[in-house]
Structure 1
Amino acid sequence: MSIVTVILLFLVALVALCYLFLIWNFNYWKKRGIKTVKSWPLLGSFPSLFTQKRNVVYDVDEIYRKYKSTDNVVGVFSTRMPQLMVLSPEYAQQVFVSEFRRFHDNEMARTCDTETDEILANNPFILTGQAWKERRAEITPGLSANRVSAVYPVSQSVCKKFVEYIKRQQRMAGSSGVDTKSLCLAYTTEVVADCVLGISAQSFSDNPNPLVGMIKRVFDQSFGFIFYVTLLTLWPPIKKFYSVPLFSKDVVKFFFDLMQRSINLRRESAEARDRVDFLNYMLQLQDKKGLNTMELTSHTMTFLTDGFETTSMVLTHTLLLLGRDSAAQQRLREEIGTANLSFEQLSELPYLDACIHETLRLFPPGLFARKLCTERFEFANKDGVSVGVVPGDVIIVPNYSLHHDEKYYEQPMQFRPERFLEQNGGVRKYRDQGVYFGWGDGPRVCPGMRFALTQLKAALVEVLRNFEVKVNSRTRNDNELDDTYFMAMLKGGIWLDFEERK
């Protein structure tokens, strides 16, 4: 036998072994009496995650629509790792709320190494078990209604500057329309930087603070991190000796230095120490708990990261949907009125609330949830077969699919804010059914929800008072999502025209 033949046989055997390794447990759910969706070696049940020809949520939605009428749960695979997707809203509600203790943690905790990703490792979204409870208890008072109310004048001040910034951007854009995603990110960066750190990011100037660019980098997932997550699904023990942080070292250093400068400025200024804002709350917590600067930075990054990108995306899409629907825009403008609104009055605008909830339904930041089982639980399928999940198993909740199911939402692709008005059952109706997860639900609902809503409402009030919002021809007229982004974002960008009102 020649050396070439030996090498070829070796390569064939190696390829065969790799193939078997990738598919050997594809009958995991079938052996338990649960249907398994079509899966491919390496790609698993979600090929779009690798091909990036469309957003992976469409893979999830196809599975949901194919099996929802016949099954409550269905088996899927992330590369070669078996996971269970719930298809019934009753089970979705249990996972988030009524059986929360059995699905306490988020799967992303598996990808985070506390030694290589110090900032992310201390985010409540990542933390598990008792550590999550303690961190949540520490952060929640900093986001109380009183504190959000105290920084509301800051938001109002930023909104006035935002209006002038929009005017300048519209003049420069001309007939091309304004890049509204960048516009709204400038707003949220400015208002969060001021409300949380007491500094200006200079977002509305020609020379913005580097904070704006760093915020964008926080949410740009590197190829190295994506590759690492893929390896974890292929062979979880790799985490013991190899890990890749989500935040790069220079991003961590930037925020660490920014936090240190903000702390120093705050402690040196008697006037600043009197501000009832989030940084002063964190400094009080630092004194009480003895936190070092890195711990304080990781705590505060929760306020920053949760307030920047997510809120800007919701604001962008709300303006888009109002721009498409002139009647809804005018109805909201009439509700807002012309008088300056107090924090309490801002909270008493039902149609504004309904518009935001409807935006979150159509473009939910969390397209689907991946929860870790923390206590054994039995799921019963529609054919009477039960399957148990044990600690460590991953449960997928298809938020986007539930939000767009015509069984629960009439004309689900249409922007119809009135469905969330109180006389029609309000948001509670859909949340209780287990078909609305705009901010998540249950004990792990977004802790910054109140602050985010205040930012959103303050901006929408000022924009609609000053402008007629119209959709530029550069913007697509459907709701197709960006192929690769991990949150809901309209494909191709959002370009709007802001016509000044007389």
Structure 2
Amino acid sequence: MTTQAGPAAADGAAADGATDGQKIVPGPRGVPLLGNLPEFGKDPLAFFERLRARGDFVSWRFGRGRALFIAHPSTIGELLTEVERTFDQPDLGIAFRTLLGNGVVVAKGADWRRKRSLVQPSVRPKQVRSYAATMAECAVALADRWRDGQRVDVKKEMAALTQLIAVRTIFGVDTAADAEAIGRAMDVAQKEIGAEFSGLGALLPDWVPTPGRARVKRATAVIDAEVSRVVARHRDGDTERPDLLSRLLAAQDETGAHLSDREIRDETVTLYIGGHETTSSTLVWAWHLLSRNPRVRAALTVELDRVLGDREPGFDDYARLTYTQAVVKETLRLYPTIWLLTGMAKEGAMLGGRPIAPGTRVWSSQWATHRDARWFTDPEEFRPERWGTTDGEPAEEIPEYAWFPFGGGPRVCLGTRFAMVEAVLVLAVLARRFRLDLDPGEIRPVPSLTLQPDREVLATVRVRGDRAVREEGR
């Protein structure tokens, strides 16, 4: 990890680069060599909330490296739009790179621009439309298996569903033979990546072996073997199939060159994580919030009945399901799947009119900014209406980059529309027929590669109203 060495931060010591009389606020006192890493690693979400309470520019230490936390939407927007110019993508560690390789999320400079131009066409709105039918079909198949009174683990159900959608949309109908093995490997990898990123492993050189790194390596080997097998089958067959992998194999840059086998692997894994891990987590949190908020659940079903009646949703319904979209947006506000973003300052970096010293690692947290009362009325409340309603009630005035679950700027998540359409259609299919009554008890978010519940999420399936009569006759 590339950082600049320096003494541990202490209360009263301002960071470099403050100008025009406005000093960057000092963060909590750190410890020698490790800085604030122990406090950060213990509970990253609470740590960022404490930094936000101190101010919009807060200095701290990630190990011995200089770090700056920013919380104001305008400054976050500057950071996101200046990546690739005056801010670099920082190295997120050997565990992260082992899984994602050098895909579009990790690549920099000309390499990133080339890969983005090759990957982006596969997730444009026209292509997402073609994937929407698969999303709805997979959700309908799950709904047909559920029964009134059935007990389910929502985490497992949503993970299996989004995994099926991912392998069908990415790999096509000839899906991976051992999708469950890939799912288990992904679970292991993301857990270990999160543990290393917020623990002492973040400061260790790449060559230092640890049990966690070994587990990531073994998990990645499982994923690589299956991806390689499926890629080989695609190369031997018809590359005109309408799946993401076929489009990646056919893509050419301005010189006529295709993505290499290694690049195909990296982009496939990146798309799989975006299309499975992130959406699965979002849906689990949505069911959690709906179960705890009967008023919102009732409003959602009113819209589903009005827009869909007794039919299943399709892509064209996405635009009409405005309240369902708002439920997903509000879920992503309270439980953002990607919970932090970071960039490394280069020569000439500026934020809020302040020069930022080269080598400073700048951090922003969706979790902290999304729960800031300056931008959201009653920020801890689940209130989809803040995004506007179909009956003309205006949305809250939310500043740009106060809500940024998919990042922003040139490196905004390429799968944003895919993820939103998938979450809305899946929620529409299932909530049209059922409600899920989650067991009581607190569910805490765990910040790993994505924001995950800390335990199994058990629920009782209930068929809605007069649908229960039809359910008995099936």
TM-score by length of 1: 0.79
* Secondary structure of residue in 1 paired with 2:372: coil
| Residues 326 and 385 in structure 2, CA contact (< 8 A), matched pair in contact too | yes
Q: CA deviation at 1:419?
A: 0.3
What residue in structure 2 maps to residue 209 of structure 1?
Answer: 180
**Structure 1 residue 197 corresponds to structure 2 residue 181:** no
* Secondary structure of residue in 1 paired with 2:137: helix
**Structure 1 residue 332 corresponds to structure 2 residue 315:** no
**Structure 1 residue 438 corresponds to structure 2 residue 412:** no
* CA distance, structure 2, for counterparts of residue 118 and residue 355 of structure 1: 35
2:71 pairs with 80, 87, 90, which one?
Answer: 87
**Structure 1 residue 457 corresponds to structure 2 residue 424:** yes
The 1:35–1:450 alpha-carbon spacing in structure 2 relative to 1, beyond 3 Å, is: closer
What residue in structure 1 maps to residue 360 of structure 2?
Answer: 393
What residue in structure 1 maps to residue 470 of structure 2?
Answer: none
258-267 or 23-32: which moved more? Answer: 23-32
Q: CA deviation at 1:119?
A: 5.3
* Secondary structure of residue in 2 paired with 1:61: helix
Unpaired runs of 5+ in structure 2?
18-22, 468-474
| Residues 435 and 461 in structure 2, CA contact (< 8 A), matched pair in contact too | yes
| Residues 342 and 364 in structure 2, CA contact (< 8 A), matched pair in contact too | yes
Q: Name the aligned partner's letter for residue 374 of structure 2.
A: K
The 1:292–1:101 alpha-carbon spacing in structure 2 relative to 1, beyond 3 Å, is: closer
Q: CA deviation at 1:144?
A: 1.2
| Residues 480 and 491 in structure 1, CA contact (< 8 A), matched pair in contact too | yes
The 1:29–1:441 alpha-carbon spacing in structure 2 relative to 1, beyond 3 Å, is: same
* CA distance, structure 1, for counterparts of residue 294 and residue 86 of structure 2: 42
* CA distance, structure 1, for counterparts of residue 399 and residue 274 of structure 2: 22
* CA distance, structure 2, for counterparts of residue 424 and residue 82 of structure 1: 45
* CA distance, structure 1, for counterparts of residue 79 and residue 314 of structure 2: 37
**Structure 1 residue 341 corresponds to structure 2 residue 325:** no
| Residues 190 and 200 in structure 1, CA contact (< 8 A), matched pair in contact too | no
**Structure 1 residue 187 corresponds to structure 2 residue 161:** yes
* Secondary structure of residue in 1 paired with 2:180: coil
- How far does the alpha carbon of each residue in 1:83-126 deviate from its partner, in whole angstroms, 9 at most, with x for none? 111232221222123x445454332x35249xx94652322221
What residue in structure 1 maps to residue 458 of structure 2?
Answer: 495
* CA distance, structure 1, for counterparts of residue 59 and residue 338 of structure 2: 21
What residue in structure 2 maps to residue 111 of structure 1?
Answer: 93
77-86 or 246-255: which moved more? Answer: 246-255
464-473 or 55-64: which moved more? Answer: 464-473
* Secondary structure of residue in 1 paired with 2:320: coil
**Structure 1 residue 308 corresponds to structure 2 residue 279:** no
What residue in structure 1 maps to residue 110 of structure 2?
Answer: 130
The two structures, once aligned, show a CA RMSD in angstroms of: 3.2
Q: CA deviation at 1:413?
A: 0.7
**Structure 1 residue 145 corresponds to structure 2 residue 121:** no
* CA distance, structure 2, for counterparts of residue 210 and residue 156 of structure 1: 24
What residue in structure 1 maps to residue 330 of structure 2?
Answer: 358
1:163 pairs with 143, 166, 184, which one?
Answer: 143
Q: Name the aligned partner's letter for residue 194 of structure 1.
A: R
Q: CA deviation at 1:143?
A: 0.5
| Residues 67 and 360 in structure 2, CA contact (< 8 A), matched pair in contact too | yes
Q: CA deviation at 1:430?
A: 2.5
Q: CA deviation at 1:469?
A: 2.2
TM-score by length of 2: 0.83
Q: CA deviation at 1:369?
A: 1.6
* Secondary structure of residue in 2 paired with 1:248: helix
* CA distance, structure 2, for counterparts of residue 481 and residue 23 of structure 1: 32
* CA distance, structure 2, for counterparts of residue 490 and residue 78 of structure 1: 26
**Structure 1 residue 281 corresponds to structure 2 residue 247:** yes
* CA distance, structure 2, for counterparts of residue 246 and residue 391 of structure 1: 33
* Secondary structure of residue in 2 paired with 1:221: helix
- How far does the alpha carbon of each residue in 1:213-259 deviate from its partner, in whole angstroms, 9 at most, with x for none? 12212312166776674325xxxxx45x6588698333333233222
| Residues 22 and 79 in structure 1, CA contact (< 8 A), matched pair in contact too | no
- How far does the alpha carbon of each residue in 1:20-66 deviate from its partner, in whole angstroms, 9 at most, with x for none? x984665873576543212221442353444x3xx31101111211x
Q: Name the aligned partner's letter for residue 29 of structure 1.
A: A
Q: Name the aligned partner's letter for residue 451 of structure 2.
A: A
**Structure 1 residue 75 corresponds to structure 2 residue 59:** yes
Identify, as 1 or 2, the structure richer in helix: 1
What is the aligned-residue identity percentage? 20
The 1:431–1:348 alpha-carbon spacing in structure 2 relative to 1, beyond 3 Å, is: farther
**Within-5 A mapping of 1:366-385:** 366-379=338-351
* Secondary structure of residue in 2 paired with 1:74: strand
Q: Name the aligned partner's letter for residue 472 of structure 1.
A: D
The 1:408–1:25 alpha-carbon spacing in structure 2 relative to 1, beyond 3 Å, is: closer
* CA distance, structure 2, for counterparts of residue 468 and residue 305 of structure 1: 27
